[in-house]
C-alpha cells in the first residue's frame, strides 16, 4: 500500500474518535498495553513529560517542545487531533513523521491490529512511541487525547505530569461536574512524580491535592507563583510579556510567537514545568533557550490553529476553541478588538451540547453556518435553524470553505471574520 491507501485503511478499519465520536472510545488501557508489548514497550525508551487538561494542553505541549528544541534536545512531540494531515500528530524537532515509516509500521503490524483490534487512537499512540524510540529522542512531550486516567497515552512514566485546567467538555465520557472531570485528568499523576497544575480552581483544587498525596507526588499550582502580564502585541504573530514569579520580575519582555491573551495562562504553566524538571534537564535549559523557543515557536514546532491569523483587510482569525472554557477565552479576546461588523463562520460536532457553547458567541454578528467534513459534523441547515431560535442569525452553506468565501465577499476592509466552533472547522481553512 502507498501512504494514502494506508491512511484510508486505518480510517476504515480502526474506530476513530475524531470522525465517529464516542463509539471509538475504549474504556481501559488493555489494547494499548497489548500493542506496545508486541513492540517491546517502546514507551520506556525515552524520557517524557505528560500533558493533560481541558484547554491549553496543546499550546503547553508545543511551547515545551520548542524550549527543549532550542536547548539542543532532540524532541518528540505527540498531539491530537490533527487539522489536515495525520502526520501532524507525530513530529521530531518540528518535522512530521515520514510517510514511509507509517506505511511500514502498518504493513508490519496488520496481523496485530486484527488480533488486538485497537482503536485508531490506540494504534497511533503505539506508532508514536515506536517512532520516538527509533529516532532516539532525548525528550518526548506527550499530550493526552481525551481525559487522562483511561487515555491511551497513560502508559508512560513521565518526569513531570502537567494538568493545565478543568472545564466542561466530553461530559458523557468524563463526568458532568468539574470535580469528576478533574478526577479523570488527575489519573495521569504517577507515584513519586511531580505534577504541575496550571490553574488553581476552587472546585477542583482538592481533587488534585488528594490524588497527589495518594501518589506521594509533589504538586504545585502554576497560577500561585507565575503571573504573565502582556505588555505588547503586533496583532498578528507575537505578543510580549513581563513574567513575574512570586511578585518578582524574572523575564522582562519575553516574546511569545502566539497572540491569544489566554496564552498567558499557558505560558505560566510552561515556566512552572521547567522549574520542577529534574536537575539534569533543568540546568541545561538556560534563559536563552526559553526566550528563543517561545519567540520562534512556529519555526521550531509548526504550531497552528490557535488565534491563527489567516487573512488581512479584512482581518480573518480562526481559533480551535470548542468548549465552554475555551470559547469564553476566545470571545474575551474578540471583545477587545475594534471593527465595524463581525462575521462568524461556525460549525460544531453533533455529539456535544453545542447550544451551551453557541450561547457564548455574540448575537450581533452575521453568521455563516457550515458542517465540518466528518461524520460527526452537525448538519449546517439544522444548526442554522436551531441557532436562529436562540437569536443567532445567518445562512447555512454546503462547506466550510464556501461559508468563508461568502464571508470574505460580504465583509468590508474594516470588518472582522472569525472562524471557529470546532477544531475540524478550523482544519478546513488553515
Residue 311 has what DSSP assignment?
E
Percent of the chain whose pLDDT exceeds 90: 76
Given the candidates 3.90.190.20, 3.40.50.150, 3.40.50.720, 3.30.1490.20, the CATH classification of the domain at 308-427 is 3.90.190.20
pLDDT mean over 209-236: 95
CA separation, residue 136 to residues 157, 372, 381 (Å): 17, 37, 49
Cβ atoms of 344 and 399 within 8 Å: the answer is no
**Higher per-residue pLDDT: 117 or 277:** 277
- Domain extent listing, the chain: 3-301, 308-427
Is the confidence at residue 279, as pLDDT, over 50?
Answer: yes
Is the confidence at residue 421, as pLDDT, over 70?
Answer: yes
Q: Where are the beta strands (DSSP E) in 11-109?
A: 48-52, 75-78, 90-92, 95-96
CA separation, residue 376 to residues 35, 342, 371, 381, 383 (Å): 27, 27, 9, 15, 13
Is the confidence at residue 21, as pLDDT, over 80?
Answer: no
Cα–Cα distance, 1 to 20 (Å, whole number): 24
**Secondary structure (3-state) at 77:** strand
- What does the pLDDT look like over 349-388, one tens digit per residue? 987 789 989 999 999 999 999 999 988 899 999 999 999 9
pTM for this entry: 0.92
| Virtual torsion, Cα 37, 23, 207, 210, nearest 10 deg | -30
Please, what is the end-to-end C-alpha distance for the chain in angstroms?
Answer: 29
Cα–Cα distance, 308 to 327 (Å, whole number): 14
Is the confidence at residue 322, as pLDDT, over 80?
Answer: no
Is the confidence at residue 39, as pLDDT, over 80?
Answer: yes
| CATH number, span 3-301 | 3.40.1190.10
Cell of 216: 506521594
Cell of 349: 460536532
Is the confidence at residue 326, as pLDDT, over 90?
Answer: no
Cα–Cα distance, 229 to 206 (Å, whole number): 27
pLDDT mean over 77-92: 94
Residue of 220, 273, 277, 222 whose CA lies nearest to 244: 222
For the beta sheet containing 315-318, the strands, ordered from the edge strand earlier in sequence to the opposite edge, are 308-311, 315-318, 416-420, 342-346, 366-369, 394-396
Q: Which residues is 222 bridged to in the sheet?
A: none
Q: How far is CA 346 from the centre of its chain?
A: 19
CA angle 393, 399, 403 (to 5 degrees): 45
**Higher per-residue pLDDT: 96 or 202:** 96
Would you state the pLDDT for residue 350?
86
Would you state the pLDDT for residue 20?
47
Provide the mean pLDDT of the chain: 92
Is the confidence at residue 28, as pLDDT, over 90?
Answer: no
Amino acid at each position: 500500500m502507498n501512504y494514502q491507501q494506508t491512511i484510508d485503511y486505518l480510517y476504515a478499519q480502526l474506530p476513530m474518535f475524531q470522525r465517529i465520536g464516542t463509539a471509538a472510545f475504549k474504556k481501559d488501557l488493555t489494547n494499548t498495553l497489548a500493542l506496545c508489548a508486541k513492540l517491546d514497550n517502546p514507551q520506556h525508551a525515552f524520557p517524557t513529560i505528560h500533558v493533560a487538561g481541558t484547554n491549553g494542553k496543546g499550546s503547553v505541549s508545543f511551547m515545551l517542545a520548542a524550549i527543549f528544541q532550542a536547548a539542543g534536545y532532540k524532541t518528540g512531540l505527540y498531539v491530537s487531533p490533527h487539522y489536515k494531515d495525520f502526520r501532524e500528530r507525530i513530529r521530531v524537532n518540528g518535522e512530521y513523521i515520514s510517510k514511509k515509516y507509517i506505511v511500514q509500521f502498518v504493513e508490519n503490524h496488520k496481523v496485530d491490529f486484527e488480533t488486538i483490534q485497537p482503536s485508531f487512537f490506540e494504534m497511533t499512540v503505539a506508532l508514536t512511541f515506536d517512532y520516538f524510540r527509533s529516532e532516539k529522542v532525548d525528550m518526548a512531550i506527550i499530550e493526552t487525547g481525551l481525559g487522562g486516567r483511561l487515555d491511551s497515552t497513560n502508559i508512560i512514566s513521565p518526569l513531570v505530569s502537567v494538568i493545565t485546567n478543568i472545564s466542561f467538555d466530553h461530559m458523557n465520557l468524563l463526568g458532568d461536574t468539574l470535580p469528576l472531570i478533574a478526577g479523570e485528568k488527575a489519573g495521569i499523576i504517577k507515584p513519586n512524580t511531580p505534577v504541575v497544575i496550571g490553574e488553581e480552581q476552587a472546585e477542583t483544587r482538592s481533587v488534585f491535592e488528594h490524588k497527589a498525596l495518594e501518589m506521594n507526588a509533589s504538586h504545585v499550582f502554576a497560577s500561585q507563583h507565575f503571573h504573565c502580564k502582556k505588555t505588547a502585541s503586533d496583532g498578528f504573530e507575537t505578543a510580549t510579556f513581563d513574567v513575574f514569579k512570586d511578585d518578582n520580575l524574572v523575564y522582562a519582555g519575553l516574546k511569545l510567537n502566539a497572540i491569544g491573551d489566554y496564552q498567558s495562562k499557558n505560558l505560566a504553566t510552561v515556566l512552572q514545568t521547567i522549574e520542577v524538571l529534574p536537575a539534569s534537564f533543568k540546568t541545561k535549559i538556560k534563559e536563552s533557550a526559553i526566550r528563543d523557543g517561545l519567540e520562534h515557536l512556529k519555526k521550531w514546532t509548526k504550531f497552528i490553529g490557535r488565534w491563527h491569523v489567516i487573512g488581512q483587510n479584512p482581518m480573518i482569525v480562526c481559533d480551535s476553541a470548542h468548549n465552554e472554557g475555551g470559547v469564553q477565552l476566545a470571545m474575551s479576546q474578540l471583545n477587545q478588538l475594534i471593527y465595524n461588523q463581525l462575521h462568524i463562520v461556525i460549525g460544531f460536532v453533533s455529539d456535544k451540547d453545542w447550544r451551551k457553547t453557541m450561547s457564548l458567541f455574540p448575537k450581533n454578528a452575521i453568521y455563516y453556518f457550515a458542517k465540518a467534513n466528518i461524520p460527526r459534523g452537525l448538519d449546517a441547515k439544522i444548526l442554522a435553524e436551531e441557532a436562529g431560535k436562540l437569536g443567532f442569525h445567518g445562512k447555512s452553506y454546503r462547506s466550510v470553505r464556501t461559508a468563508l468565501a461568502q464571508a470574505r465577499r460580504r465583509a468590508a476592509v474594516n470588518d472582522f471574520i472569525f472562524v471557529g466552533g470546532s477544531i475540524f472547522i478550523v482544519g478546513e481553512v488553515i
